[in-house]
Amino acid sequence: MARAAAVHYSCTECGYSAGRWLGKCPSCSSYGTLVEDVLSAADGAKVPPKPLLRLVDVDAEEAQRIPTGVAELDRVLGGGLVPASLVLVGGEPGVGKSTLLLTALASISKNRRALLVTGEESTAQVKLRAERLGGAERVEILAETQLETVIATLESERPDVCVIDSVQTLYSAEVGSAPGSVGQVREAAARLLRTAKESGVATILVGHVTKDGTVAGPRVLEHLVDCVLQFEGDRYHAHRVLRAVKNRFGSTNELGVFEMTGAGLQGVPDPSEVFGRSAGNEIGSAVACALEGTRPILLEIQALVAPTDLAMPRRVATGIDPKRLAMIVAVLSRHARTALGAADVFVNVAGGVRIDEPGADLAVALAIASAARGAPTHEGQAAFGEIGLTGRLRPATQAERRLEECTKLGLAAVVAPTGAPAASGKLVVHEVDTLRKAIAAGLDADRTEAG
Ligand SMILES: Nc1ncnc2c1ncn2[C@@H]1O[C@H](COP(=O)(O)OP(=O)(O)OP(=O)(O)O)[C@@H](O)[C@H]1O
Ligand SMILES: [Mg+2]
């Protein structure tokens, strides 16, 4: 007698599985996300075992990477696309995902077959963009949203690189739910993964991010793919940042910087030149030497301290975490004799860049202290170091790399926590152990506004 198919219920948000239907998922607490999943009766059938291999007997040759022709993208991927890999590129609407990937395809198509599967835009729309970017004449295009058709085409055509824009538009009739739903996206990614590995097509999926910044809702997709790249940036600023969140073939947290221009995205090989140039002895400005992945980057931090009558003065942060700003303001008041209780504090990272790294704390504190005391920071000076709640500075990671970057940019001095390695060249390192000493070393008190 045939066994009845086993029915169970799984959560579309977190993958939790239960034997009966529940209104609220016990694992992630979302409501109405449990859907029926049918396990086929064959699941319990007996299958023959497979012989095992020793790793020494496995044939593997280091696959030749495919250069994308976009230097910043290659850097983030770890030196180019790995054949037969699956890469997920996430980003907010309008940040420039399609532009970036069409540029890469255009360059790849010069020596290899490059295919763009577009489910979001018509072929005519893509053509208009291609004309604006130039050089994309040989890119092949398929306007299709049916998953099975896309897979069949990939299997028969076997292009070297394929971009799917976007994975949310793919639809398989076999999965009951609507296009863009978690079940559909997961199914599409899993089937494309299989096709990528079997047919040797390096596949790049474009994914939209949800409001809280995760790609396509479920983390399931991120586990599945080989690489996850995040494309971020403020739509109102020209600069975009590409980060590797996960990379099976290279280091993570690499950073690529682009500038959006009328002719497409241009790589910015030396971001410190763009973001780290302050006007010099301006009040309320300091340069941070932050570390993004393995790449040090100089960023100008600006602060404004304005007297206020508000009972709760405002602390407004653009580009840094508001909680970190509140902490820095509190440490400044308590440990560095910079009273800010009756003032609004605004902090901005120039160029629309966002930094999460604690090593940027000291520069933020210097910018605020400079604005509060009306004294500029020394010209040609950068700062890095994490501020502790006791007012003591903690050593920042990879100080050597940061100092190298400052030397490269021709800076004169750096304020850094004690224990920093010796700098090469003319760079002077002011080693300090507390925030108070850092402010004394970093501000040009002789040029105070009042005096
Ligand atoms: N003629 C132009 N000149 C300058 N910038 C342009 C021009 N046309 C488009 N852009 C820029 O390109 C961006 C849109 O790029 P793109 O379509 O690649 O984004 P996307 O991430 O694919 O968006 P979506 O999520 O909607 O698919 C716009 O926000 C704009 O900044
Ligand atoms: Mg797009």
Cβ atoms 236, 226 nearer than 8 A: no
What percent of the chain has pLDDT above 70?
91
Average pLDDT, the chain: 86
Pick the closest to residue 182 from 138, 128, 220 (CA basis): 220
More confident site: 41 or 342: 342
Instruction: Supply the pLDDT for residue 450.
Output: 52
- In the numeric block, which tokens belong to residue 96? 């420039």
More confident site: 123 or 6: 123
Q: How far is the CA of 98 from the centre of ligand 2 (A)?
A: 4
pTM for this entry: 0.76
Average pLDDT over residues 110-139: 93
Cβ atoms 289, 408 nearer than 8 A: no
Residues surrounding ion ligand 2 at CB below 5 Å: 98
Give per-residue pLDDT as tens, 214-236.
555 445 688 889 999 988 877 67
Average pLDDT over residues 281-301: 86
Q: Which ligand is nearest to the CA of 91?
A: 1
Q: How far is the CA of 124 from the centre of ligand 2 (A)?
A: 14
Determine the residue type at 312.
Answer: M
Q: How far is the CA of 66 from the centre of ligand 1 (A)?
A: 25
Testing ligand 1's pocket by substitution, the residue of 98, 163, 240 carrying the most ligand atoms inside 8 A of its CB is 98
Cβ atoms 221, 88 nearer than 8 A: yes
Q: How far is the CA of 117 from the centre of ligand 2 (A)?
A: 12
Give the whole-angstrom CA distance, residue 197 versus residue 201: 7
Testing ligand 1's pocket by substitution, the residue of 210, 260, 265, 266 carrying the most ligand atoms inside 8 A of its CB is 260
Q: Is 265 in the pocket of ligand 1 (CB under 6 A)?
A: no
Q: Are strands 34-39 and 86-91 parallel, antiparallel or unpaired?
A: unpaired
Residue 269 CB-density burial (10 A; 0-12 exposed, 13-18 middle, 19+ buried): exposed
DSSP string, 91-103: E-TTSSHHHHHHH
Q: Is 228 in the pocket of ligand 1 (CB under 6 A)?
A: no
Instruction: Supply the pLDDT for residue 367.
Output: 96
Going by CA atoms, what residue is nearest to atom 1 of ligand 1? Answer: 262
Give the whole-angstrom CA distance, residue 26 versus residue 58: 43
Q: Is 118 in the pocket of ligand 1 (CB under 6 A)?
A: no
Give per-residue pLDDT as tens, 371-420.
999 999 998 899 999 999 999 999 888 888 899 888 888 888 999 999 88
Q: Is 236 in the pocket of ligand 1 (CB under 6 A)?
A: no
Testing ligand 1's pocket by substitution, the residue of 92, 97, 120 carrying the most ligand atoms inside 8 A of its CB is 97
Q: Is 235 in the pocket of ligand 1 (CB under 6 A)?
A: yes
Please state which of the ranges 25-29, 111-115, 155-159, 415-419 shows the lowest mean pLDDT.
Answer: 25-29
Atom of ligand 1 nearest to the CA of 261: 4
- Asked whether residue 297 carries a pLDDT value surpassing 50, the answer given is yes
Residue 451 confidence class, pLDDT cut points 50, 70, 90: very low
Instruction: Supply the pLDDT for residue 2.
Output: 46
Instruction: Supply the pLDDT for residue 152.
Output: 95
Q: Is 121 in the pocket of ligand 1 (CB under 6 A)?
A: no
- Asked whether residue 62 carries a pLDDT value surpassing 80, the answer given is no
What percent of the chain has pLDDT above 90?
49
Instruction: Supply the pLDDT for residue 275.
Output: 77
Q: How far is the CA of 147 from the centre of ligand 1 (A)?
A: 26
Give the whole-angstrom CA distance, residue 145 versus residue 287: 48
Q: Which ligand is nearest to the CA of 90?
A: 1
DSSP bridge pairs for 8: 37
